[in-house]
Amino acid sequence: MHRPLLCLAIIFVASIFSASTHALSRQVSIVYAAELPLIKNEPFGSYANLATLLDQTREQHASTTFLFGGGSLAPSMLSSFDRGAHIIDILNTLEPDAMAVAKREFSYFEDEFSLRAYEAAFPMVLSNATDPLTGDNIDGAVRRLIIEKPGVNIGIVSVIHDSVVEEYLLQRLHINEPEQATRAQVNLLKNEGADVVVLMTSDRHDFIDSLLQEGVVDLVLRTDPHFTLTSDNQRSSDHPGYVFITSQGTAAVINIEWQDAQSEKQISVSTLPLNQFPLNKAVDSQINAYDDRISVLLSEEIATLSTSMNTQRFEVRTSENGFGNLISDALRSASHTDVALINGGAIRGERLYSPGHVLTREDISTELPFRSRITVLRIAGRHLKAALENGFSEVEQVAGRFPHISGVTMNVDLSAPVGQRIKHIEVNGQVLVDAKIYSLATSDFLAGGGDGYKALTLGSEVPFSQQVTPLIADIVISVLRRQQTVSTNKSGRIKFISSIGRNG
């Protein structure tokens, strides 16, 4: 054989061998996103940008798997009207292969979640929950799922933290121990033929690293845009299969490749800001249709700010806040009570307002999206103090239970043990008396024990003066409308007396 022909033959055989080897390899491409409660999430990027990323990835890899991590049915202004139905509608357009159930999916309680699950054209996965009424999973969710792609079966599990029950005041959700639930469901998935196993979660779990190191799961997907706000900034794992997104409006594209069941899986991850992708016209039109439906109603001008106003998450969950004061003052004024209390987690706008900004109904609806109603209680001083102690029990974790108060001044020592942090407390200038009965205005959510405020359930409810109990947002709007010009200054209601507190 002539040398040129021999070289061509060698190249040809080598190319066949290379192609054969590549053909034997198995590959999975996953697009993952979560924590997108706002359909117009400017400037970070929206579902319309995500749709373009999906289009591009699906064009490159026909078997692309789209996993949505949840955390999106609330809070938002629109969700306060339709309980997250518009999010499901948009996701139906994007066609996820599966959605994880996170805490926010229960913002409007169990029945509303089930309604959204049945509206979805995709499965919702929750692996560690039981409805005590049925002894089965919460209606509408599946415990595990196998997604079949050409030549590959992808197993999906999803776990939620047990704090969801207290934070969202759930009555029909029992959370099973997450590690045991994960291992049990993964065993079933592997028996059912799963080649790759993915765990989705919105919380930190100490067992995640063990699951990855032992090969129980191949991939863990988690999103928490507020992760850096807390004092606990330890990652759960440094394993390459641990994908943790901590920036708003960010998706991940994950490629997993391996030869056979015995070979190690190679994982590559690209995290991509959604705003770098152009808007998908069809999804953007769908979003604008929702936006336009309520724009006229919500454009009403309420009052003008004479000061700046900060409703960012860290500000409303760690210190006295001007807008928090405004809400609690409005509740106390409307109810003529001794005290008013609202939790920082009720405030969700996460915005900075400049002096001169004209507040609209849309602004207030965005800041107070949960449509909570006022509740008036008669409560003993010792129970009021216990409730406020709860409010300061998780300041270090930037928890939503942080209290905003009216009619009360306090000295708080965050270096003291939980339950013993309030060192001095006065109600309307007088030292609180344990046995005295005080009138308190709060939200129906807190009055029912939500966010750990169990002490409030020891009070007795007083019928509100109006026939129809108003929404807290409407009370705030009514008060602002009468004032026309509004300042949101702090007044020293909460004074931290330890170095780790924030007085402003």
Q: What is the dihedral of CA 217, 28, 37, 119, to 10 degrees?
A: -90
Same domain for 274 and 411, yes or no, is no
Is residue 162, in this structure, part of any structural domain at all? yes
Q: What is the mean pLDDT of residues 180-202?
A: 97
Is residue 294, in this structure, part of any structural domain at all? no
Q: What is the mean pLDDT of residues 294-301?
A: 82
Is residue 46, in this structure, part of any structural domain at all? yes
Which residue range(s) make up the domain with 30? 26-289
Per-residue model confidence (pLDDT) at position 181: 98
Burial of residue 316 (number of CB atoms within 10 Å: 0-12, 13-18, 19+): buried
Per-residue model confidence (pLDDT) at position 8: 35
Distance (Å, whole) CA 277 – CA 275? 5
Same domain for 252 and 158, yes or no, is yes
Q: What is the dihedral of CA 177, 182, 184, 189, to 10 degrees?
A: 160
Q: What is the dihedral of CA 141, 143, 149, 153, to 10 degrees?
A: 180
β-pair type (430-431, 422-427)? antiparallel
Handedness of CA 394, 397, 402, 408 (dihedral sign): positive
Same domain for 218 and 367, yes or no, is no
Q: Which of 289, 317, 337 is the last residue of a domain?
A: 289
For 414-440, what is each residue's pLDDT tens digit?
999 999 999 999 999 999 999 999 999
Per-residue model confidence (pLDDT) at position 147: 98
Least confident stretch, 4-8, 158-162, 330-334, 436-440: 4-8
Same domain for 34 and 72, yes or no, is yes
Is residue 18, in this structure, part of any structural domain at all? no
Q: Count of CB atoms within 10 A of residue 281's CB?
A: 11
Same domain for 245 and 318, yes or no, is no
In this structure, are residues 272 and 253 in contact, taking their beta carbons and an 8 Å threshold?
Answer: yes
Is residue 85, in this structure, part of any structural domain at all? yes
Burial of residue 24 (number of CB atoms within 10 Å: 0-12, 13-18, 19+): exposed
Q: What is the mean pLDDT of residues 252-263?
A: 90
Question: Does residue 369 have a cis peptide bond before it, meaning omega lies within 30 degrees of 0?
Answer: no
Is residue 83, in this structure, part of any structural domain at all? yes
Confidence of residue 236 (pLDDT cuts 50, 70, 90): low
In this structure, are residues 185 and 192 in contact, taking their beta carbons and an 8 Å threshold?
Answer: no
Is residue 242, in this structure, part of any structural domain at all? yes
β-pair type (494-496, 408-412)? parallel
Q: Which of 233, 255, 289 is the last residue of a domain?
A: 289
Same domain for 272 and 396, yes or no, is no
Is the entire prediction scored with pTM above 0.85?
A: no
Q: Which of 266, 289, 312 is the last residue of a domain?
A: 289
Burial of residue 212 (number of CB atoms within 10 Å: 0-12, 13-18, 19+): buried
Least confident stretch, 18-22, 114-118, 131-135, 317-321: 18-22
Same domain for 259 and 117, yes or no, is yes
Same domain for 269 and 306, yes or no, is no
Give me the CATH number covering residue 467. Answer: 3.90.780.10
Distance (Å, whole) CA 401 – CA 446? 9
Distance (Å, whole) CA 316 – CA 421? 19
Q: What is the mean pLDDT of residues 450-475?
A: 89
Question: Average model confidence (pLDDT) for the chain?
Answer: 91
Q: How many domains does the chain have?
A: 2
Per-residue model confidence (pLDDT) at position 217: 97
Distance (Å, whole) CA 101 – CA 117? 10
> What are 437's strand-pairing partners?
380
Same domain for 334 and 282, yes or no, is no
**Per-residue pLDDT at 347 exceeds 80:** yes
Per-residue model confidence (pLDDT) at position 40: 87
Same domain for 307 and 279, yes or no, is no
Per-residue model confidence (pLDDT) at position 77: 85
Same domain for 309 and 279, yes or no, is no
Same domain for 309 and 333, yes or no, is yes
Q: Give percent of the chain with pLDDT exceeding 90.
A: 80
Per-residue model confidence (pLDDT) at position 192: 97
Is residue 447, in this structure, part of any structural domain at all? yes
Give me the CATH number covering residue 68. Answer: 3.60.21.10
20: amino acid identity, one letter: S
